[in-house]
Chains A and B, each alone.
Chain A
């Protein structure tokens, strides 16, 4: 017994070190998995609050860019509306009967990361604003990520620049489906895998979201194909340049899918 105590005393710092290291290691392993229930996240009141403060100063630098983005989007939407108003019969329908599948909430990215392999963003909206995990985050230029951990006032967003993010995409021209995943190198370029050879892609083809998941609606822009490698009658790498500049993200929309539960229920009955 004395020997054991002697041993413990002799190596107490080493044992203590190992003990803390095991905690740190398990937190790390947990963070590398796709699981949502993460203990260490920036959506808490302290880090969220600090990021919010810093962001309120930083914002001024980007005001001009955000204004231009907003103006462009407004112009695009007004043009679309003008086209629709021609066919105004749709708009005379009883609006109470109209059920929309997707609803949008506005928000702001208050902390951006793009140099790591597993990038997370911090959003200034939380469960108080009806944000839930697994909702799509986009801006006027394209997709940004998926909400991850949600606290009352803040939420973290799994960036599309995260090795864990897999998003269903398709070609705008031919409706061939593939999966988008980031290889961790360049923050302006993402990769598409599993695209069938029949798709017959060309440089410059547009890639949009596929709408096969319950998260992203169909047809949100992502980017254009810049180059691809074809070996053994198979696409091995397809690089897609993002429309978004992931190093400067400000105002965003969070999309809620009202039919999500219904879709999941149906999918469960199939399996």
Chain B
């Protein structure tokens, strides 16, 4: 029960933080960090993934509503939600993961960092590809993806540190 309340709080908190503050940063005219995908990274691992997929989709769609961006965020969020398990399995060289005891924050730092980096990069690449929607803009897409990814990555690591410190 406590877990459910915590996750609902995280969902709403990250959504409001994203649309009320982070989307207004417009850092040096480059872009805004997308911290809301932290929800997709830390959502508890379970055998049944349908709820996780739906929640990730809805979270992205909510951000889309605020940004008038169609289904871009929904699509990118859903994509990283779907690849979360395969990416983790690949990184840890395991075929099965014990869902009951597994926690992202217990990973060794380098593994955690590469996991977050992969997820953020894939999300941002999908996001900007859908936004520009043209092969001609490939350089713009890549440069914006990389710059925004660095920004998001730093914010996510800081937030994770804050979240684990509290306990």
Q: Which residues of A contact B (CB under 8 A)?
A: 12-14, 16-17, 20-21, 23-32, 38, 40-42, 44, 46-47, 50-51, 54, 111, 113-118, 120, 122, 156, 184, 187, 247
Q: How far is the CA of A184 from the CA of B48 in the complex (A)?
A: 42
Known contacts: A16-B53, A17-B53. The answer to whether A29 contacts B82 by CB under 8 A is no
**Cβ distance A39 to chain B, nearest Cβ, rounded Å:** 9
Which residue of the partner chain, among A20, A21, A42, A118, contacts B65 with CB atoms under 8 Å?
A42
Q: Indicate which residue in B16, B20, B50, B74 contacts A13 across the interface (CB closer than 8 Å).
A: B50
Residues of B with C-beta under 8 A to A184: 132, 137, 140
Once the chains are docked, how many angstroms separate the CA of A156 from the CA of B70? 13
Complex contact A30–B66 (CB within 8 A): no
B20 contacts A54, C-beta separation under 8 Å: yes
A255 to B122 CA separation, bound complex (whole angstroms): 43
Tell me whether B78 and A20 are in contact (CB under 8 A).
Answer: yes
Q: Does B41 contact A (CB under 8 A)?
A: no
A126–B50 alpha-carbon span in the complex (Å)? 38
Does B67 touch A at the CB level, under 8 Å? Answer: yes
Among A13, A24, A44, A122, which residue has its beta carbon within 8 angstroms of that of B71?
A24
Contacts of A44 in B (CB 8 A): 65
| Known A21-B78, A21-B79: A27·B64 in contact at CB below 8 Å | yes
Q: Tell yes or no: B68 within 8 A of A by CB.
A: yes
Quote the shortest CB–CB distance from B23 to chain A (angstroms).
8
Q: Select B75's contact among A12, A25, A46, beta carbons within 8 Å.
A: A25
8 additional contacts (CB under 8 A) given A21-B75, A47-B66:
A20-B57, A31-B69, A40-B69, A42-B66, A50-B66, A54-B20, A114-B26, A118-B131
Q: Which residues of A contact B74 (CB under 8 A)?
A: 20, 23-24, 27
B49 within 8 A of A: yes
B44 lies within 8 A of chain A by Cβ: no
Closest 5 CB pairs of A and B: A31-B70, A27-B71, A24-B71, A120-B68, A24-B75
**B: interface residue count bin:** 35 or more
Number of A-B contacts (CB under 8 A): 106
- Closest Cβ of chain B to A17, distance in Å, is 5
Contacts of B104 in A (CB 8 A): none
Please, what's the 1-or-0 string for B2-35, where 1 marks a CB less than 8 Å from any CB in chain A? 0000000000000010011000001001111000
**With A20-B53, A47-B19 as given contacts, are A28 and B71 in contact (CB-CB < 8 Å)?**
yes
Closest to A114 in B: B26
Residues on the A chain within 8 Å of B140, using CB:
184
Question: Which of B19, B57, B64, B82 is the one whose CB lies under 8 Å from A50?
Answer: B19
B61 at the interface (CB under 8 A from A): yes
Q: How far is the CA of A47 from the CA of B75 in the complex (A)?
A: 20
Contact of A26 among B49, B54, B71, B131 (CB under 8 A): B71
A29: chain B residues within 8 A (beta carbon):
70
B125 to chain A, nearest CB (A): 15
Given the complex, which residues of A lie within 8 Å of B38, measured CB to CB?
none
B72 close to A (CB within 8 Å): yes
Q: Which of B26, B49, B70 contacts A28 (CB 8 A)?
A: B70
Look across to chain A and name the residue whose beta carbon is closest to the beta carbon of B66.
A47
Q: Can you offer 22 A-B residue contacts whose CB atoms are under 8 A?
A: A12-B50, A17-B53, A17-B78, A20-B74, A24-B72, A27-B71, A28-B71, A28-B75, A28-B130, A31-B69, A31-B72, A32-B133, A40-B69, A40-B70, A40-B71, A41-B65, A50-B20, A54-B20, A115-B26, A118-B69, A118-B131, A120-B67
